[in-house]
Structure 1
Amino acid sequence: MLQTYLKAENMKFKRSLFRKLILLVPAALILTSVVLMYVGMGLDGFSSVMVCNWCMPVASLSVVFLCHLVNNKDQKHQYRTLYSLPISLKKTFISKTILTALNLLVISLLLSLVTVISECISSGTLAPAGLTGYYIMGYCLLWFSLLWQIPFCLFLDQKVGFTCSVIINLFASALGGLFLYLTPVFWFFPYSWTARFMVTLFGVTTNGLPASPGSRLLLSLGESLLLLLISITAVFLLSALFSRWYRKQVYRR
């Protein structure tokens, strides 16, 4: 049954900006990274600059934009066409979450391929191509750490609007990605998870410099698995919580 809801949601976005962001986000990220390299801010190489920009703050902003576009389709009609249909609003919310997550996954996979290509170009050999699986896994783990933001931003966008959602996410991602990820508090502040995964997986800190071997910022295998489990649990709990909230909106309108 959920597959039907996914197909219905997916049909809303044919030839829309929601689909185009799959290419626009990587393109903007590549351009930004090239500019930063040109002005001398990419000391550890292009791929490091790109993953830093992705983790802080482009990824969070991408989630906000995607969630806003998903909500905006129904907001244009003030939700009349949605609330008048004999459908499960809970499943509708979950399908919106899944569709946004899939778009974010495609963006992540494209970024991993761009990383491999850039590493091959910078090294002048095809040796980095052998690490394609590692880069894909790395970006997929970063993707898992971002998933909790999707149900949260779908809720936030509808409650406080797009502008406030951008401000909140920018502030929170800056706080988590620049400061709190350096402390043990990062376990309790979800916006820090992506930055901590980035340091562990790619060996680069959020200022673009390489992490020193044996740094306390590097997670062990057990800690990485625990953080992954926490990330997955968070997205399920938030999806369940906000889908129940979304379902109740029909009684308020």
Structure 2
Amino acid sequence: MGQYLKAENLKFKRTFTRKLILLIPLATLFLTWFLSFNWYQINAFNWWYVLMMPGYIALISALSDQKEAKKRGYRGVLALPVSLKKIWVAKVMNLILYAALSCLILLIGILLGSFTVPNPLPLGDACLGMLLIFATSLWQIPFCLFLSRKTGMVGTILIQVAAGFLLGVLLATKSIWWLCPYSWTMRMMAPVLGILPNGTLALSGDPLLNSSSIPVGIALSILLFILLLIATTGWFQKQEAR
């Protein structure tokens, strides 16, 4: 499996996809710094998990798919005596690494901002918040890889960002929030960081501050990631017959 991961990572050497690991979190930090300095940390988190992270995952997933599709529509891979299962899993794992690095860069920028902004977020809460954002977004990677094969880059980005923004924000405050995967992260940020889905701070006594959403969101996210990984891997293996 290690050789598959190494090969997948080498495909992106000196590519724009690698640059996005740094560019997307930096763009998020610069925008929040210049547009809302006093709420720099709060908005950096909120903009990241509501808009930037879903869009980023959609983009790198689509670019990963296009990397193979340009090589005669995956026929270069399908003709090789390799495990299609391992190739697909390696693609997912490689993008997970890229997402983790981007989250880490953003977290460092947010923590550095604590020295300049009023009422900085506690270190532990900020680290926990970013860890949860990362963990509860993993399911989007196999989903977007599959979506890219079906709809292309534009369709993947539009569906991912629109669903994340509209459905996520709309349902995160409802009792049925657990039915919408895009709401899970937003719901958990209230008890962890005190940030409501609309980006405002939660007031004392707000029902969304109930921490019971955290274990529910984590469990659902892990389960959905596993199910999507298994389902999309099985689907990709069948491409060999085409």
Aligned with residue 225 of structure 1, among 210, 215, 220: 215
For residues 127-160 of structure 1, what are the alpha-carbon distances to aligned partners after superposition, in whole Å with 9 as ceiling and x for unaligned?
x69x434422210111111111100000000111
User: What RMSD, in angstroms, separates the aligned Cα atoms of the two structures?
Assistant: 1.8
Mapped pair 1:106 → 2:106: no
Distance in 2, Cα, partners of 1:218 & 1:88: 46
Query: What TM-score results when the alignment is normalised by the length of structure 1?
Result: 0.90
Letter in 1 for 2:89: I
Contact 2:168–2:186 (Cα < 8 Å) also in 1: yes
Letter in 2 for 1:46: Y
Mapped pair 1:209 → 2:209: no
Give the C-alpha shift of residue 163 in structure 1. Answer: 0.9
Letter in 1 for 2:87: T
For residues 93-144 of structure 1, what are the alpha-carbon distances to aligned partners after superposition, in whole Å with 9 as ceiling and x for unaligned?
11111111111111111111111111112249xxx69x43442221011111
Distance in 2, Cα, partners of 1:47 & 1:209: 12
Aligned with residue 40 of structure 2, among 32, 46, 63: 46
Contact 2:89–2:233 (Cα < 8 Å) also in 1: yes
Contact 1:18–1:66 (Cα < 8 Å) also in 2: yes
Q: Which position in structure 1 is the counterpart of 2:68?
A: 74
For residues 175-219 of structure 1, what are the alpha-carbon distances to aligned partners after superposition, in whole Å with 9 as ceiling and x for unaligned?
233210010211011011111122222111233211112311123
Distance in 2, Cα, partners of 1:133 & 1:88: 41
Q: Which position in structure 2 is the counterpart of 1:65?
A: 59
Q: Which structure 2 residues correspond to residues 1-253 of structure 1 after superposition, within 5 A?
A: 2-37=1-36, 45-77=39-71, 78-123=73-118, 131-220=122-211, 222-252=212-242
Letter in 2 for 1:106: L
Contact 1:5–1:92 (Cα < 8 Å) also in 2: yes
- Point out the more displaced range, 28-37 or 138-147: 28-37
Structure 2 SS opposite 1:14 = coil
Contact 2:188–2:213 (Cα < 8 Å) also in 1: no
Aligned length: 241
Distance in 2, Cα, partners of 1:183 & 1:225: 17
Distance in 1, Cα, partners of 2:6 & 2:124: 30
Contact 1:113–1:136 (Cα < 8 Å) also in 2: no
Contact 1:109–1:136 (Cα < 8 Å) also in 2: no
